[in-house]
């Protein structure tokens, strides 16, 4: 039995001494776990950090001899912050604005000759972007107003459906072996115009290491604040058009072997992609910027402020010392002295390059949302925010005084992940985050919503409580640590209200009812997954019993596609990798019972014939038609389901044992499916039509 005094101390520090598991049983947290977390938090409340000095030293004020376009460029990646801060009217993509004269959508913007990406879909020419920038008052499907007057995130304007896609897996004939932002724009344009989709939900686009090897997981980035340049379409960088014929030929040679891989089912090789793309970008970086483009870059740097400076500095230092700041020399590990090291010379030049990459990514990201809205989408692109970042990455370096070393966040065991999960990400220190006024968290939300129609927050319960796993312990030996949910959820709801965009929380797994109720009060949509939606007797949740205030989905990126469930492959793979607590036979019996119950539910709704044993395609269409009969405001359609893919993108609890986050989009036969092929696939259109069904009362 746990010592009562230890329990008292734990509860006083916000550590839960017990919890209820996915079966509803109460589980006591062990003494070792409680002691480890208490030690990590510290017995005394953390001192309120000193306010930052008013920029006594800006490392990028010094000249960087290799700045974009010309030697001697005296303007590095982050000039002193000015009136063009986050959300200001001066920066590209600010609320109600249309970017700079040379930003996305201008005559010099990425994409077509007029600076707009086409709204006509895969392989189609023409089309104009929306005049309303992301989040502007004139954009369709918007609610809420600026200034934070509303404390709740806006509700969807109506029922809509959309594809959910791991963007890296969606390749086209023109992409470099890895899905990119042009591919996203064209998927949104085609599905919005031809299929009536209201949104596209994508994986986190967070940035990884600046040099290979590049970590594959979108959910374990080096920063959540900035975008991976892996998603850039090289040919859409405006300065690409100013290259010589010889330079373009060289870039084509870099792209050719990667484009050849698009037609295969070979795993995605991020290292090869980034080596080639970086070489191409370094060529383009030497092209002088026009006066208007230079002014646009300056406004971007002013808007992004110190966040950009820290990211660029970390990248420059990581190129020299490796991507884990914890192993750097003492001078570089210290935030202030490390930043000073990038004030001049090669490190300054490297930092300037990485700031320039973020400017390009910001432009292309804005163009994807404009293409989506121009195609008639009510919402547009819904971005995804990971739970945390790599403990050795830029976010941890920048906020090293606000994270808890020796702890990792994860999740307790549940029905699908029976060993629990350890996500290898350090948690925020609750007291220190509060002392900082929750500004780091609010800044993440604001940046993620800038060029979006909505934001999905992975494991949104983490804003209220997080499962902390002490270093050296297995995930099932963790404990929940509480956060001030009014402040953390308020930061999300407030930023969504100011942007006029949707906020969606992934609230699957072990969740106390009050958490979902509170999130709903603040306008944050939940997530309901079909495989886990059950009545109290274990049968499938009837359509009329589903939540309205949610995004409904059949599965997620952590769950195998429908085809794998129907064939039993999802059990075979997990058994082979040792991820089952039950015997394989018992697990198969459980899986078969679930399928039988879902067949019965589909028959009861008239979606498949009685006594039928539908094949994967028919079963997939029927499941999405079932979702359409629920009152859910958003219906998310996995693009992997819609093409008949069999392999899961991620199997929690594995690393090298399974090729997580490296699987390209393929059909049921294992053949690669390219973006241009989607309009001709009958299953894609059938699933889309099912998801767009009549809905409640239809």
Which pLDDT does position 656 carry in this prediction?
A: 85
Note if the bond before 395 is cis, omega within 30 degrees. Answer: no
Average pLDDT value for the chain: 86
Q: Which residue has the tokens 């036969």?
A: 669
Which pLDDT does position 582 carry in this prediction?
A: 81
Residue 637 has pLDDT above 70, yes or no: yes
d(CA 245, CA 224): 37
Task: Kindly state the percentage of the chain with pLDDT values over 90.
Answer: 73
Q: Taking the model in full, what pTM does it have?
A: 0.86
When pLDDT is averaged across residues 124-135 and rounded to a whole number, the result is 34
What Rg do the C-alpha atoms of the chain give, in angstroms?
A: 25
Report the 10 Å Cβ neighbour count for 52: 8
d(CA 450, CA 495): 10
Reported as type and span, the H/E element at residue 384 is: strand 380-385
Which pLDDT does position 511 carry in this prediction?
A: 84
Report the 10 Å Cβ neighbour count for 64: 27
Q: Which residues, 6+ apart, have CB-to-CB distance to 39 below 8 Å?
A: none
Residue 152 has pLDDT above 90, yes or no: yes
Residue 393 has pLDDT above 90, yes or no: yes
Which pLDDT does position 571 carry in this prediction?
A: 86
Task: Kindly state the percentage of the chain with pLDDT values over 70.
Answer: 84
Residue 97 has pLDDT above 50, yes or no: no
The two structure tokens encoding residue 466 = 């997080």
d(CA 473, CA 691): 43
How far does Cα 490 stand from its chain's mean position? 20
Residue 96 has pLDDT above 80, yes or no: no
Closest CA to 432 of 424, 441, 443, 445: 441
Which pLDDT does position 690 carry in this prediction?
A: 98
> Residue 382 in 3-state DSSP?
strand
Can you list the pairs that 437-441 forms with residues at least 24 positions away whose Cβ atoms lie under 8 Å?
A: 438/487, 438/488, 438/491, 440/399, 440/402, 441/488, 441/491
Output the CA torsion 209→215→218→223 (10° steps). -30
- Per-residue model confidence as pLDDT tens digits over 357-391: 999 999 999 999 999 999 999 999 999 999 999 99
Per-residue pLDDT band at 417 (split at 50, 70, 90): confident
Q: Which residue has the higher pLDDT, 256 or 510?
A: 256
d(CA 183, CA 173): 10
Q: Which residue has the higher pLDDT, 483 or 67?
A: 483
CA distances from 140 to 132, 313, 683 (A): 9, 38, 29
The two structure tokens encoding residue 146 = 């600026």
- Per-residue model confidence as pLDDT tens digits over 184-217: 999 999 999 999 999 999 999 999 999 999 999 9
d(CA 482, CA 16): 8
Which pLDDT does position 524 carry in this prediction?
A: 98
> Residue 540 in 3-state DSSP?
strand
- Per-residue model confidence as pLDDT tens digits over 547-563: 999 999 999 998 899 99
Which pLDDT does position 570 carry in this prediction?
A: 82
d(CA 498, CA 141): 15
Report the 10 Å Cβ neighbour count for 71: 11
Alpha helices, DSSP H, located in 42-142: none
DSSP label at residue 596: H
Degrees (nearest 5) of the Cα angle 39, 45, 48?
A: 130
Closest CA to 405 of 394, 397, 413: 397
The architecture (CATH level 2) of 146-381 comes to Alpha-Beta Barrel (3.20)
CA distances from 694 to 257, 401, 631, 633, 690 (A): 45, 52, 11, 13, 9
Which pLDDT does position 71 carry in this prediction?
A: 37
Count CA atoms closer than 13 A to 213's CA, side-chain side.
Answer: 4
First to last CA, the chain: 56
Closest CA to 403 of 224, 218, 226, 213: 224
Residue 122 has pLDDT above 90, yes or no: no
Q: Which residue has the higher pLDDT, 124 or 33?
A: 33
When pLDDT is averaged across residues 580-609 and rounded to a whole number, the result is 91
How far does Cα 281 stand from its chain's mean position? 24
Sorted by where each begins, the domain ranges of the chain are 146-381
Per-residue pLDDT band at 63 (split at 50, 70, 90): very low
- Per-residue model confidence as pLDDT tens digits over 282-319: 999 999 999 999 999 999 999 999 999 999 999 999 99
d(CA 102, CA 115): 9
Residue 465 has pLDDT above 60, yes or no: yes
d(CA 10, CA 676): 56
Which residues are paired to 502 by β-bridges?
Answer: 454
d(CA 506, CA 140): 24
Its sign, for the CA torsion 85, 447, 169, 353, is positive
When pLDDT is averaged across residues 479-485 and rounded to a whole number, the result is 96
- Per-residue model confidence as pLDDT tens digits over 561-584: 999 988 888 888 888 888 887 888
Pick from 39-53, 304-318, 492-506, 614-628: least confident: 39-53
Output the CA torsion 446→274→330→65 (10° steps). -90
Confirm if 40 and 14 have CB atoms less than 8 A apart: no
Which pLDDT does position 133 carry in this prediction?
A: 33
Its sign, for the CA torsion 139, 141, 147, 153, is negative
When pLDDT is averaged across residues 171-178 and rounded to a whole number, the result is 98
d(CA 690, CA 618): 11
When pLDDT is averaged across residues 144-172 and rounded to a whole number, the result is 82
Pick from 189-193, 225-229, 508-512, 671-675: least confident: 508-512
């Amino acid at each position: 039995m746990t010592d009562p005094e230890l329990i008292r101390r734990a509860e006083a520090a916000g550590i839960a001494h017990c919890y209820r598991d996915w079966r509803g049983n109460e589980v006591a947290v062990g003494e070792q776990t409680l002691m480890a977390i208490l030690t990590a938090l510290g017995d005394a409340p953390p001192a309120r950090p000193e306010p930052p000095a008013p920029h006594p030293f800006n490392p990028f004020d010094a000249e960087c001899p290799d700045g974009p376009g010309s030697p001697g460029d005296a303007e590095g990646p982050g000039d002193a912050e000015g009136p063009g801060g986050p959300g200001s009217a001066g920066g590209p993509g600010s609320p109600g604005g249309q970017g700079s004269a040379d930003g996305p959508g201008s005559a010099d913007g990425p994409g077509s000759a007029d600076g707009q990406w086409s709204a006509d879909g895969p392989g189609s020419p023409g089309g104009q972007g929306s005049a309303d920038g992301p989040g502007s008052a004139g954009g369709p499907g918007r609610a809420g107003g600026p200034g934070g007057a509303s404390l709740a995130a806006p509700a969807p304007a109506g029922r809509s459906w959309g594809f959910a896609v791991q963007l890296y897996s969606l390749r086209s004939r023109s992409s470099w072996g890895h899905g990119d932002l042009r591919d996203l724009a064209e998927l949104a344009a085609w599905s919005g115009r031809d299929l009536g989709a209201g949104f596209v939900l994508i994986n986190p686009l967070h940035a990884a290491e600046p040099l290979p090897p590049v970590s594959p997981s979108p959910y374990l980035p080096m920063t959540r604040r900035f975008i991976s340049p892996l998603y850039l379409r090289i040919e859409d960088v405006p300065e690409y058009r100013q290259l010589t014929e010889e330079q373009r030929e060289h870039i084509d040679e870099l792209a050719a072997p990667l484009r050849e891989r698009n037609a295969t089912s070979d795993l995605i090789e991020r290292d090869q992609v980034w080596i080639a793309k970086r070489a191409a970008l370094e060529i383009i970086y030497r092209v002088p910027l026009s006066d208007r483009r230079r002014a646009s870059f300056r406004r971007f740097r002013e808007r992004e402020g110190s966040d950009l400076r820290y990211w660029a500095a970390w990248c420059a230092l990581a190129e020299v010392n490796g991507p884990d700041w914890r192993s750097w020399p003492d001078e570089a590990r210290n935030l202030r002295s490390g930043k000073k090291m990038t004030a001049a010379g090669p490190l300054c030049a490297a930092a300037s390059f990485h700031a320039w990459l973020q400017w390009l990514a910001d432009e292309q990201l804005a163009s994807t949302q404009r293409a989506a809205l121009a195609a008639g989408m009510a919402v547009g692109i819904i971005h995804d925010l990971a739970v945390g970042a790599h403990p050795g990455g830029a976010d941890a370096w920048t906020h090293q005084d606000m994270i808890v070393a020796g702890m990792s966040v994860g999740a307790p065991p549940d029905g699908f992940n029976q060993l629990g999960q350890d996500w290898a990400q350090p948690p925020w220190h609750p007291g220190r985050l509060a002392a900082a006024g929750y500004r780091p968290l609010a800044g993440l939300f604001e940046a993620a919503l800038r060029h979006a129609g909505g934001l999905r927050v992975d494991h949104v319960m983490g804003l209220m409580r997080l499962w902390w796993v002490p270093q050296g312990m297995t995930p099932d030996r963790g404990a929940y640590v509480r956060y001030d949910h009014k402040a953390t959820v308020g930061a999300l709801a407030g930023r969504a209200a100011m942007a006029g965009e949707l906020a969606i929380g992934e609230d699957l797994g072990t969740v106390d009812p009050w958490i979902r109720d509170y999130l709903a009060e603040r306008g944050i949509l939940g997530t309901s997954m079909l495989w886990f939606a059950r009545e109290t007797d274990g049968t499938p949740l009837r359509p009329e019993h589903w939540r309205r205030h949610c995004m409904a989905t059949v599965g997620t990126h952590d769950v195998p596609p429908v085809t794998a469930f129907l064939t039993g492959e999802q059990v075979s793979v997990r058994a082979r990798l040792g991820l089952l607590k039950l015997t394989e036979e018992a697990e198969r019996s459980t899986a078969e019972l679930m399928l039988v119950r879902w067949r019965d539910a589909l028959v009861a709704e008239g979606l498949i014939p009685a006594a039928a044993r539908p094949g994967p395609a028919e079963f997939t269409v029927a499941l999405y038609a079932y979702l359409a009969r629920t009152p859910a405001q958003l219906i998310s359609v996995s693009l992997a389901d819609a093409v008949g893919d069999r392999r899961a993108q991620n199997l929690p609890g594995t690393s090298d044992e399974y090729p997580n986050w490296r699987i390209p989009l393929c059909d049921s036969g294992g053949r690669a499916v390219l973006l241009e092929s989607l309009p001709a696939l009958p299953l894609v259109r059938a699933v889309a039509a099912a998801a767009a069904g009549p809905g409640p009362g239809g």
